[in-house]
């Protein structure tokens, strides 16, 4: 099977996930896997540049405590790995919405800004904004890109200056009220403009029961359970379509991708996807769990490290065949 046909097989619209991702039982041959300055928001105050340090990790300070993952170098490396994973799934496309000649674009929760940088490069005619709680983006970026430090869950002031395209990716466990956020997007997109969210159902599953009673499963139930108790949405992917429709978007389109964790699939494309998935997951287990479990569930740092190391070991166990669903959902504001 060619890479393209394998991808088509798993990417076709919802409900078309293969019932059985075939396991690779041959354990050999794994070796290949294994000067313009941007302007931050003009109003950037020194307090925005301060950080919170806790358990050896660095966190944002603006709207302190509202996002529970770190923003230090090792987390930022993980975000860039996840960008590569998303490109691999989407056949190197940054987005799937059928946008034409966008003039004003915003990337919500831009992280390291890597998506916004690529988008601004590909669309020099567009004015692009990347918005995040953390000022962690590079300064050497395309001249048509600007980063803002802001809270996308607070009220927006973009209705008088709306966008042609709004993009948001990987915001699971970041946002408390996706419905409100998507309604804000609707109010701030031009008639005929497109909004695209790419996000996960954060909980893994296995088609053969191999995930049951593993350290990996325990990790997700403890960590995402803590996020959910604290009010964060850990499974936005499967709910996006309904939220888009409720907000008033038309031409809503959904694509669902089955993303394996690890090198266990036989199919070459899925093995590569699983390798990137594992790389970013291993880089993130500790960081994703630390604040959620220590601040909300009274775990110690040492207990979190043990849980994360079990998850890491299970990610490398080829007998555990875990899969995560990733959704790309886009919709259009009606023309009139
Ligand atoms: C997992 S990262 C995803 C980064 C980027 N979208 C990507 O796909 O590479 C989530 C990002 O959302 C940001 N974030 C979380 N809550 C936010 C909020 N209320 N307002 C703005 N940014 C937020 C975090 O600071 C973090 O950079």
- 214-228 mean pLDDT: 98
Residue 64 falls inside a structural domain:
no
Distance 319 CA to ligand 1 centre (A): 33
Ligand 1: does its nearest atom lie under 6 Å from the Cβ of 184?
A: no
Q: Is the pLDDT of residue 151 over 50?
A: yes
Give the model's pLDDT for residue 19.
67
**Distance (Å, whole) CA 234 – CA 236:** 6
Model confidence band, residue 134 (pLDDT cutoffs 50, 70, 90): very high
Q: Quote the CA–CA distance of 328 and 14 in Å, as a whole number.
A: 10
Residue 233 in any domain: the answer is yes
Which residue segment(s) compose the domain that 277 sits in?
A: 3-47+75-332
Whether 32 is covered by a domain: the verdict is: yes
Q: pLDDT class for 11, splitting at 50, 70, 90? A: very low
Query: Would residue 265 count as lying in a domain?
Result: yes
What's the CA gap between 331 and 189, in Å, rounded?
Answer: 11
Please provide residue 11's backbone torsions phi and psi, each rounded to the nearest 5 degrees. Answer: -100, -15
Check if 152 has its Cβ closer than 6 Å to any atom of ligand 1.
yes
With a 6 Å cutoff on the Cβ, whether 170 touches ligand 1 is yes
* Residue 231 placed within a domain: yes
Measured between alpha carbons, how far is 290 from 26 in angstroms, rounded to an integer?
36
- Is 62 among the domain residues? no
Partnered with residue 255 across adjacent β-strands are: 328
- Mode of pairing for the β-strands spanning 189-206 and 163-169: parallel
pLDDT value of residue 27? 57
Res 35: pLDDT: 28
| Sign of the torsion formed by the C-alpha atoms of 7, 11, 16 and 20 | positive
Mean pLDDT of 173-183: 98
Nearest C-alpha to atom 2 of ligand 1 is from which residue? 111
Q: Average pLDDT over the chain, rounded to whole?
A: 90
Counted domains in the chain: 1
What integer pLDDT is reported at residue 21 of this predicted model? 87
Phi and psi, residue 23, nearest 5°: -85, 140
Give me the residue label for tokens 């350290």: 215
Rounded CA separation 54/217 (Å) = 26
CB 18 within 8 A of CB 264: no
Q: Which two tokens stand for residue 203?
A: 């909980």
Supply the pLDDT for residue 202: 97
Measured from the CA of 171, which atom of ligand 1 is nearest? 10
pLDDT at 182 over 70: yes
53 part of a folded domain: no
List the one residue out of 185, 233, 169 whose CA is nearest residue 333: 185
* Distance between Cα 111 and ligand 1 center (Å): 5
137 lines ligand 1 (CB under 6 A): no
Protein residue with its CA nearest to atom 16 in ligand 1: 174
CATH number of the domain within which 18 lies: 3.40.50.150
Answer whether residue 103 is part of any domain: yes
Token pair listed for 89: 């799934």
CA-based radius of gyration for the chain = 20
pLDDT digits (tens, 9 = 90+) for 74-122: 999 999 999 999 999 999 999 999 999 999 999 999 999 999 999 999 9
pLDDT in tens, 286-335: 999 999 999 999 999 999 999 999 999 999 999 999 999 999 999 999 99
Q: Which of 109, 152, 236, 283 to mutate to test the pocket of ligand 1 (most atoms within 8 A of CB)?
A: 109
pLDDT in tens, 13-49: 333 456 688 888 875 444 333 322 234 443 456 677 7
- Model pLDDT, residue 159: 86
């Amino acid at each position: 099977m060619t890479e393209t046909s394998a991808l088509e097989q798993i990417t076709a619209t919802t409900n078309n996930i293969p019932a059985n991702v075939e396991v690779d039982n041959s354990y050999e041959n794994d070796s290949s896997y294994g000067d313009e300055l941007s302007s931050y928001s003009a109003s950037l105050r020194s307090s925005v540049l301060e950080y919170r340090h806790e358990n050896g990790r660095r966190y944002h300070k603006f709207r302190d405590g509202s996002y529970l993952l770190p923003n230090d170098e090792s987390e930022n490396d993980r975000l860039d790995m996840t960008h590569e994973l998303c490109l691999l799934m989407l056949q190197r496309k940054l987005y799937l919405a059928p946008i034409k000649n966008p003039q004003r674009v915003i990337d919500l929760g831009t992280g390291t800004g890597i998506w916004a940088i690529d988008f601004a490069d590909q669309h020099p005619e567009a004015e692009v904004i990347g918005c995040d709680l953390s000022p962690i983006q590079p300064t050497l970026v395309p001249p048509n890109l600007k980063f803002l430090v802001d809270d996308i869950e607070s009220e927006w002031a973009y209705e008088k200056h709306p966008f042609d395209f709004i993009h948001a990716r990987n915001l699971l466990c970041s946002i408390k009220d996706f419905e409100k956020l998507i309604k804000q997007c609707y109010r701030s997109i031009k008639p005929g403009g497109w909004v695209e969210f790419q996000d996960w159902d954060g909980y893994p599953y296995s088609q053969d029961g191999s995930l049951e009673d593993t350290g990996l499963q325990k990790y997700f139930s403890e960590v995402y359970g803590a996020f959910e108790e604290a009010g964060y949405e850990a499974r936005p992917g499967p709910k996006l379509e309904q939220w888009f429709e409720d907000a008033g978007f038309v031409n809503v389109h959904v694509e669902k991708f089955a993303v394996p964790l690890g090198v266990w699939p036989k199919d070459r494309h899925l093995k590569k996807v699983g390798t990137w998935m594992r790389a970013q997951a291993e880089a993130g287990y500790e960081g994703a769990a630390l604040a959620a479990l220590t601040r909300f569930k009274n775990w110690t740092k040492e207990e979190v490290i043990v849980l994360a190391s079990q998850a890491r070991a299970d990610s490398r166990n080829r007998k555990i065949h875990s899969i995560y669903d990733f959704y790309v959902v886009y919709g259009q504001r009606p023309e009139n």
